[in-house]
Amino acid sequence: MDKAENLVADIEALGAKLAKAKAMIASRFIGQERVVDLTLSALLCGGHGLLIGVPGLGKTRLVESLSTVMGLDGSRIQFTPDLMPADILGSEVLDESGGKREFRFIEGPIFCQLLLADEINRASPRTQSALLQAMQEKRVSIAGKERELGVPFHVLATQNPIEQEGTYPLPEAQLDRFLVQIDVEYPDRDTEKAIILATTGIEDGEVRQVFTAQELLDAQTLLRRMPVGEAVVDMILDLVRACRPDDELSTLEVRENVSWGPGPRAAQALMMTVRAAALLDGRLAPTPDDVIDMARPVLMHRMALSFAAKARGETLGDLIDSVVAQVGKSEAAA
């Protein structure tokens, strides 16, 4: 077979394996297929995910299931107001064993492959910043020495709505390091009924490993080999640039309501996530519909409304939908 045929075969094989992984996760995290797809997309793209929702919606349960199914060494940190950076990264201690006095480094919970940062916005900004280098460079600098983290390394953070008491907003630089924002909504009535029946009995859903860490790395490499058509690339660029209030492509609505817009990292994130969306749907290449589908998860945390827009009751979700509709019309006309 030539390279194109090999690529098609590899993508189809990975798609089948991903379908098995999704079915396994669904046995413990019932319903919420959109949430599962977005979380898997973050892992397939080699990125991080921010899950936002009120307590009790199963966010922690989802991440724990993912750790098992994807074959990753998982670790969990419960973020609290008194948590310190050393509690995450680790620290050096004076070791006097063996007749010698020397400093020994004790690794913190961040030295893993899949980190669950639970209720990340309950910690102070100083502690939240301990994750910045780790999320971007996959290593940390401690006591003058750079230390590599797990391979692969992913952060899946859960966040309570900012209106709740005792929370701190995440810095914009840290928000930008999350590939996608995943909003976890309340389940519908039928889904909630299935949840309470499945989780209040003697037996709970069991998950088994489907991937290994190396297979996930191979999947991330394969994802980057997926072709992306010129129309999709142009739509990504037009969409991201149209969301910037000082760009010539932006509309009056954006200029009046947006304080700051998405940077180039948003375009990179869209390029990766549209491929993941196609792969999870069993397709060989993304389409403009995938750009529309991934616009909110990629852009919501990379933009900010002006004070006046917030006062008028405007929402980022509605604004992004409006920009997507306008860009879609322009692409269709072209």
pLDDT, tens only, 298-329: 999 999 898 988 888 888 999 999 999 988 77
170 with 235, same domain: the answer is no
Position 169 scores a pLDDT of 79
What's the pLDDT score for residue 179?
A: 94
Within the chain, what is the greatest distance between any pair of CA atoms? 78
Q: Is residue 221 part of a domain?
A: no
For the chain, how many structural domains are there in total? Answer: 2
**258-260 and 304-305: which strand pairing?**
antiparallel
pLDDT score of 134:
87
Q: Are residues 309 and 209 in the same domain?
A: no
Pairing mode of beta strands 139-142, 145-148: antiparallel
Query: Which residues, given as ranges, of the chain have pLDDT below 70?
Result: 1-2, 98-99, 162-165, 204-205, 331-334
Instruction: For residues 47 and 130, state if they share a domain.
Output: yes
pTM, full prediction: 0.90
Quick one: pLDDT at residue 333? 62
Domain co-membership, 241 together with 204:
no
Are 136 and 249 in the same domain? no
The pLDDT, as a whole number, for residue 58 is 83
Q: What pLDDT shows up at residue 282?
A: 87
- For the stretch 229-268, pLDDT in tens is 999 999 999 999 999 999 888 888 889 999 988 999 999 9
209 lies in the same domain as 293: no
Q: What is the pLDDT of residue 182?
A: 93
Considering the domain architecture, whether residues 207 and 251 belong to the same structural domain is answered as: no
**Extended beta strands in the chain, E state:** 49-52, 74-78, 90-95, 102-107, 114-118, 139-142, 145-148, 154-159, 180-183, 258-260, 304-305
